[in-house]
Amino acid sequence: MKQDSSRNATYTVDCEDYVHVVEFNPFDSGDIGSLIAYGGNNYVVIGTCRFQEEDAEVEGIQYETLRTFHHGIRVDAIAWSPETRLDALPPQIRFCTAAADRKLRLFTSDLQDKNEYKIFDGHSDYINDLVFAPKEGQDIASVSDDHTCRVWDLEGNQKACFVLCSPGMSVCWHPEEAFKLMVAEKNGTIRFYDLITQQAILSLKSEQMPLMSAHWCLRNTLKIGAVAGNDWIIWDITRSSYPQDKRPVHVDRARLFRWSKVNENLFATTGYPGKMTSQLLVHHLGHPQPILIGSAAVGSGLTWHRSLPLCAVGGDHKLFFWVTEM
């Protein structure tokens, strides 16, 4: 089992910069390909990919860069807007970045002459995660080391600010729960906020610290996953505020947790970058061991394809893609 599950990336794409963060567009953009965004020290690149798993005419992977945006500073996080459409005339690409200068940048482009960006200023420390409102895309939520979660409109006006007890590590907005925001803190607390009353309505505890990443399951709104210390942790929010399941998986501390978008029992975790190789583990809740072990030279970022059991990690001048079984 161990030998079989450990393997090199299924596909790789060469990049012109070190890749800090990579995100598949989780929304339908009206195109047959999948949009992917990745960020490095200076640039954000928007590309489109097709895989042989979805199109028999493709050999392996077909990747094309649509546009490179000059960013001028290291990209720490990227979020896609549901307003991104490739089937519109003209097409619209919209995404937001968090950068090392503690600012958000909202980019809007028609992939031709119109390329605009707005800067949102307000956080006083590093921004760890951000997300668009999944239905209309008219708001953006962000979390920071400054112990806040902030909600912004597209003009950069702050609509809400939730004060946290420790650094905010992850923020999630579920398409089926448009008026709730999930915020995960480094101290191991995950809270759900009601965006109408701006009150916390539910909290979960990891018992482990530091919590580095948490994610709300797209396929099952009752499931929350996270990594803290060396463990992955899963909650069923109907049962208890304490974990339903947890397991130590990363020797060198776990860094990221992401649910698959196609199967509520499939998720991936990554180990801490900084060692020569970063470990990617793909887990299935029905299996005691990881079903896939991959490693990327100084990998960072983690994202799942919208409709395939395929995840991507960034690395040194490369994107790595792994295909797994359902």
Instruction: Write the pLDDT tens digit of every residue in 231-267.
Output: 999 999 999 999 999 999 888 889 999 999 999 999 9
What is the model's pLDDT at position 273? 64
Q: CA separation (Å) from 317 to 99, 294, 299, 322?
A: 19, 17, 10, 17
Over residues 197-211, the mean pLDDT reads: 95
Cis peptide before 175 (omega within 30 of 0): no
Q: How far apart are CA 49 and CA 57, in angstroms?
A: 13
Residue 108 · residue 96 · CB < 8 Å: no
β-strands 318-323, 310-315: how paired?
Answer: antiparallel
Q: Is the pLDDT of residue 3 over 60?
A: no
How many other CB atoms are found less than 10 A from the CB of residue 147? 17
Tens digits of per-residue pLDDT, 18-35? 999 999 999 999 998 999
Q: Supply the pLDDT for residue 245.
A: 94
Mean pLDDT score, 36-56: 95
For residue 147, what are the CA distances in angstroms to 99, 153, 256? 17, 20, 19
- Report helix, strand or coil for 4: helix
- Per-residue pLDDT band for 4 (boundaries 50, 70, 90) equals very low
pLDDT at 174 over 90: yes
DSSP state of 164: P
Please state, for a pLDDT cut of 70, what percent of the chain lies above it: 97
Give the residue with greater pLDDT, 276 vs 119: 119
Task: Please compute the mean of the pLDDT values over residues 98-125 and round it to a whole number.
Answer: 96
pLDDT of residue 2: 37
If pLDDT is split at 50, 70 and 90, which confidence band does 7 have? confident
For the chain, the distance separating the N- and C-terminal CA atoms, rounded to the nearest angstrom, is 17
User: Which tens digits make up the pLDDT trace of 59-108?
Assistant: 999 999 999 999 999 999 999 999 999 999 999 999 999 999 999 999 99
pLDDT digits (tens, 9 = 90+) for 261-279: 999 999 999 998 655 577 8
Q: Give the phi and the psi of residue 3 in degrees, each rounded to 5.
A: -65, -45
Q: Tell me which amino acid residue 23 is.
A: E
pLDDT in the model for residue 1: 28
Q: Is 274 exposed, middle or buried (0-12, 13-18, 19+ CB in 10 A)?
A: exposed
